[in-house]
Amino acid sequence: MRRYLHVKVNVKTPEVSQPTQATELWTNGELKLSYTYDQSQGRIDWIMQNLTDKVQYVTLLRGAVLEINGQTGTIPSYLFGDAFAEVYFANGLSSYITDLNNIPLYSLAFVTINGDPSSTQVAFVFQLPPKGTITAPEYGFTNLKEVTGELVPVTADNASNFIVIYDYAEIVEYEQEAGVKVSAPPDPYIVYSYLFKTDKLGYPVTSRTVIPIFKESTNVLSDILGFLNTLKKLF
């Protein structure tokens, strides 16, 4: 499946719309998701609101129907950040979350269904302050016909090292969609990050293998990397 939706790298984050101008898309009484759409730029500003008196950690699950070259294209619901996480990480737009008290916009983390390693995905995790609002622009919504979305609460579990193996096609596709040249991280790469648990994930739009390296297994880290590099040379 082709990935159309993306965040722009190597550019200053644009000014965003105010919630009073937005269309409400979803709410569960504690969280609310609204958006504005700029057709000329193919840009949606996602406006995420925390209606409670406590800090909330969330991911954004969204999908869309677009008209592209006279044809209708459906973008399945997947977690914001999953499609081009390696591009965002390697080009300075994003970093992985290592401090729950310091989560800038477009911060990445690993997310699983209640800690099941086989379900691990990468996504932006947003920290919504009490009664607070965060707005995150996203591009690629060419001739938007329909949009769906919801905020998915996540709970921080623990932080550790992870090995990530990814498909370089992600880099090529981003360059095609955004029209810019970007850097890529090593394949595989190792990153230290928090793991978040949730009860809902989106469509796995980007193929990755994520291997957690817990404290008791750090002695075998070099052996794993050596094995992975050997496999790369064979294929």
This prediction has a pTM of: 0.89
Let me know if residue 61 belongs to a domain.
Answer: yes
Let me know if residue 172 belongs to a domain.
Answer: yes
Let me know if residue 7 belongs to a domain.
Answer: no
Let me know if residue 5 belongs to a domain.
Answer: no
Cβ neighbourhood burial of 190 (10 Å; 0-12, 13-18, 19+): middle
pLDDT digits (tens, 9 = 90+) for 96-146: 999 999 999 999 999 999 878 889 999 999 999 999 999 999 999 989 999
Q: Which domain holds residue 165?
A: 19-234
Cβ neighbourhood burial of 65 (10 Å; 0-12, 13-18, 19+): middle
Total structural domains within the chain: 1
pLDDT digits (tens, 9 = 90+) for 166-194: 999 999 999 998 999 999 999 999 999 99
Let me know if residue 2 belongs to a domain.
Answer: no
Helix, strand, coil shares of the chain, percent, nearest 5, are 20, 45, 40
- In the numeric block, which tokens belong to residue 154? 């996540």
pLDDT digits (tens, 9 = 90+) for 204-234: 999 999 999 876 555 655 656 665 665 555 5
Neighbour-count burial for 121-140, b at 16+ CB within 10 Å, e otherwise: bbbbbbbbeeeeebbbbbbb
Q: How far lies 12's CA from each of 7, 73, 92, 107, 130, in Å?
A: 11, 29, 12, 16, 27
Let me know if residue 6 belongs to a domain.
Answer: no
Q: How far is CA 49 from the centre of its chain?
A: 18
Listed residue (78, 74, 42) closest to 59, CA to CA: 78
Name the DSSP class of 188: S
H-helix or E-strand containing 165? strand 155-166
